[in-house]
Structure 1
């Protein structure tokens, strides 16, 4: 018996359906009820193999795509968590050895690219290459056509790393170009729209460093509305926080600045973002619309 990963299968079906501009009604025609498709996409039901085969034919994709993608996704996530831990703990020797082990045990394109990505970043963190050499190596990775074809998420991840390297070395114009190119990509599904929010967060930080305050304010107001429609609070507090920065830089009305920071503070409390909550309490308390109760 094949164990189907409920939520990921449903998300994949929904993503592919939307990419092909199909409604649930069109997908389920002559297959099952629309209610059944809705439950599968929302992770409440598990499709049978027979139903999954019918859905695959309707979407014109091989059924193996669901299982292959899930296995690759799980492996990429496993590698990602381990490598990020090594970076945090600076256990670079162990990290290098594990990357070699992963590389020797797979022939899957996306995984090999992801391993190479981390190997390049490791060389940079160890001081073996400078940031320009690091960027050149990463650019060689994203230049491979198969990345966009097989994993746009991996392409975005590497491009974001390049942009951050440019930003950290104060080459903001180069970062700006990368973010603009990334934002031109289609972000049709909910999953991809949330990724766009992360790109926008970095893009707005970069606009601030470039002192493009008017443009930044326009962009942040637009992305706040987009984030509200997504009903995802993850970045909403950050965007209001950035709005406060742009308003301050433009010497806007004090009430507008205070309102932006206060809304940001409220969202940081709601999402348990203690780090940014503390920043506002310590450094910007005078710009909040209500006093902080320091007795708590």
Structure 2
């Protein structure tokens, strides 16, 4: 796990230890070595997240007691990024164990509790410990509670997007569409949410195609392409052009129009070295892109 680096942690730990009339040996017992406690208190060593949770549990305080606001939010961001990368790498078992431990081991402040439970529910579902309906109920409760807090809207988007994806994966397309339409109504005025805005358009378009609302799907994907070009964001542009080509095929557009979309998708995948998607276009849409390869 990543480490907390606030220089105030050592001072806070020492103050709390003395408040509880504990020696360094008492505090360390069964958790770590006395030497490690000494190093943390002297500011020469930074505790890991796991260690800080264990110490906060023994001292019966929330973890944010050790941190000032700025360092706490930075540490929260580090934890979020760490869990997100591991989730994308399908490290569900370790995420499940860590988040379960966090939930059970120490009082958590509201924002940290919501973040930890978000990953807990999703990892539980991926490990088949809960079904998708139970996972959705848990995420909906988080979303409702999170909306009462005045933090960045990015977490609301992530929670609702996860709900929509769960519906989609389980072929509950109408419910997924409803959630994406709710997401489309949200305000995306922050630069950090541009990619999320594009991704929501992309996924919403896929749902519409599943429901045979292909003309609507094409309008949505064209809007996403427009946003991507305006914002100079290429992260999903290849996928968007590929999806545009699929819509055009279903709507019987001209060969040249379809070819133009798939060719742009292929060239973008090639440019960005997204080999898997490049190969799919090459194998399944070769007739539309062969002129570009000659």
- When normalised by structure 1's length, the TM-score is 0.70
1:190, 1:230 within 8 Å by CA — same for their partners in 2? no
- Report deviation, 1:270: 1.4
Aligned: 1:73 with 2:77: yes
1:124, 1:130 within 8 Å by CA — same for their partners in 2? yes
Give 3-state SS (helix, strand or coil) of 1:149's partner. coil
1:285, 1:291 within 8 Å by CA — same for their partners in 2? no
Change in CA separation of 1:89 and 1:139 when aligned onto 2, cut-off 3 Å: closer
1:285, 1:292 within 8 Å by CA — same for their partners in 2? no
Name the counterpart of 1:159. Answer: 160
Spell out structure 1 runs of 4+ moving beyond 6 A: none
After superposition, give the CA deviation of every residue in 1:179-214 in whole Å (9 maximum; x if it has no partner): 111111111122111210111111111111111111
1:207, 1:213 within 8 Å by CA — same for their partners in 2? yes
Name the counterpart of 1:269. Answer: 270
- Report deviation, 1:145: 4.5
Q: What stretches of structure 1 of length at least 5 have no aligned partner?
A: 4-63
- Report deviation, 1:65: 6.1
2:96, 2:120 within 8 Å by CA — same for their partners in 1? yes
Q: Which of structures 1 and 2 has the bigger CA Rg?
A: 2
1:138, 1:162 within 8 Å by CA — same for their partners in 2? yes
Name the counterpart of 1:49. Answer: none
Could you tell me how far apart the structure 1 residues matched to 2:70 and 2:278 are? 41
Q: What stretches of structure 2 of length at least 5 have no aligned partner?
A: 1-5, 8-67
Map 1:188-227 onto structure 2 (within 5 A).
188-227=189-228
After superposition, give the CA deviation of every residue in 1:213-248 in whole Å (9 maximum; x if it has no partner): 111112222221111011011111111111000000
- When normalised by structure 2's length, the TM-score is 0.71
Change in CA separation of 1:147 and 1:284 when aligned onto 2, cut-off 3 Å: farther
Map 1:1-296 onto structure 2 (within 5 A).
67-85=71-89, 88-89=90-91, 92=93, 94-103=94-103, 104=105, 107-146=108-147, 149-290=150-291, 292=293
After superposition, give the CA deviation of every residue in 1:86-111 in whole Å (9 maximum; x if it has no partner): xx256x2x433322333335623222
